[in-house]
Structure 1
Amino acid sequence: MSSFAVAPTALIVHAHPEPRSFSTAQMATAAQALRDAGYRVDVLDLYADPWAPVLAREEFAPVEGAFKPQAEQMRAVRDGTLDATVRAHLDRLLAADLLVLSFPLWWFSLPAVLKGWVDRVFVMGGVFGGDHGLFGDAALAGRRAMLLFTTGGPGESFRPGGAFGPMDDFLFHIHRGMLEFVGFQVLAPVITYGPARMTDQERTAALTRAGESVVRHATEVRTAVR
């Protein structure tokens, strides 16, 4: 990792309710692979913490009239009144060179707890808007992000002409609408298709591949999604 003056930091935000799941094992494998590659790894386990996913008016100072979440986020950042847990997670996000979102693909998207993490931690005024712009001008420009996830269906179902259609169609709103929006360079996702249908030997091999792929994608910027 000679391109970094100090060891880079990877923040892994994990969302699976079962600690014995393949998804959790995949996250742990990726975390160790990044450590072995020279990263400092910070793991946020949203079910183990636990994380409250709902962006609610009660976490902000009282307002008169209509509650506008993004306006209140801006005010909370300006006034130093951001919810303490959100502030702590935001600080960990801002300290990371690499963000890895780890999850099972549910209903072709993020689990609710992980989407709620984005709702509450991708704070207007903190990572975009206010003194920050959007996309390449947002606060996280120059950082990298990737998705690490599992599916229920087999890989052929997520190809053009497959039962579900191309995987990129399902990931666009995450890649472009969440990660690139706040400035991240989005790397190619690491996906394990249908681990529940694998043998134990196949799952072991899949974990090895996932760890190797995370490190490879994280260190080869040319794999960035466009």
Structure 2
Amino acid sequence: MPHALIVHAHPEANSFCTAQMHEAAHALQAQGYTVEVSDLYAMHWEAELNRHDFTQDIEGHFKPPLAQQQAAEAHTFAPDIAAELEKLERADLLVFSFPMWWFSVPALLKGWVDRVFVRGVAYGGSVGTFVEGGLRGKRGLLLFTTGSLEEHFGPGARDGELDVLLFHIQHGMLWFCGVQVLAPVVSFAPVRGTPEDRQRQLGVVRDAFTTLDSRPIIFG
């Protein structure tokens, strides 16, 4: 039975962003997936990578990649990181669910990547990057909302081309670690729509997560 991990970062449990995350989870379950959700705000996730991420003593200058690699070899990650690494290991599908803030992910989600995509497990050390990345064999995609309308994205448009804006996430985080990246599922400016518009968009999300096997591959 395939397993999905959804890493969700929105501070409002009743937001449209959270609603579409639940819609995606239900669609995956209907397809036979088991689904696990890391709701970072609800978990009070600590976004800061620091010495407390490790149970081993760190002497001298703190070099995070080196400390991560040593912890990967010695199994000395702090409990919150160890728990997320176990979830990540179980996952066949990884979904980042978030509102696009400042043309990127919320800081809490970036902090999850900083602390969980660790050297020696997700990349580097005894594993490589891209096709040799530690997360190879997994698929992933972005599920997010925007504040701008769809026509504000594109060549020459006000907000720029969406694939360019997402490059640092899709290529620099997911594909860098070996995750095969599927085309993102985007809900443009739900706050500007009517309740009927938002219901229709939830249907789009449901359909997208029901047909993942036919979704275009962006990287990998």
TM-score (norm 2): 0.96
Query: C-alpha offsets along residues 82-107 of structure 1, whole Å, 9 cap, x if unaligned?
Result: 11110110111111000000000000
- Quote the Cα distance in structure 2 between the aligned partners of 1:42 and 1:59: 23
Aligned pair partner of 1:201 in 183, 196, 217: 196
The alpha carbon displacement at 1:62 in A equals 2.8
Aligned pair partner of 2:116 in 115, 121, 136: 121
Structure 2 residue aligned with 1:181: 176
**Can you give the 5+ residue segments of structure 1 that lack an aligned partner in the other structure?**
1-6
- Quote the Cα distance in structure 1 between the aligned partners of 2:199 and 2:187: 12
Q: Give the AA of the match of 1:59.
A: D
Preserved contact between residue 130 and residue 178 of structure 2 (Cα < 8 Å): yes
- Counting only pairs closer than 5 Å after superposition, residues 144-183 of structure 1 correspond to structure 2 as 144-183=139-178
Structure 1 residue aligned with 2:48: 54
Aligned pair partner of 1:219 in 197, 208, 213: 213
**Can you give the 5+ residue segments of structure 2 that lack an aligned partner in the other structure?**
none
- Quote the Cα distance in structure 1 between the aligned partners of 2:81 and 2:104: 23
Q: Give the AA of the match of 1:15.
A: A
Structure 1 residue aligned with 2:14: 20
- Quote the Cα distance in structure 2 between the aligned partners of 1:95 and 1:132: 18
- Quote the Cα distance in structure 1 between the aligned partners of 2:174 and 2:113: 10
- Quote the Cα distance in structure 2 between the aligned partners of 1:151 and 1:225: 20
Q: Give the AA of the match of 1:33.
A: A
Structure 1 residue aligned with 2:79: 84
Q: Tell me which stretches of 4 or more aligned residues in structure 1 moved more than 6 Å.
A: none
Query: C-alpha offsets along residues 94-144 of structure 1, whole Å, 9 cap, x if unaligned?
Result: 110000000000000000000000000001111111221111111211210
1:37 and 2:28 equivalent? no
SS in 1 for 2:13: coil
Kindly report the root-mean-square deviation, in angstroms, between the aligned alpha carbons of the 2 structures. Answer: 1.0
Structure 2 residue aligned with 1:68: 63
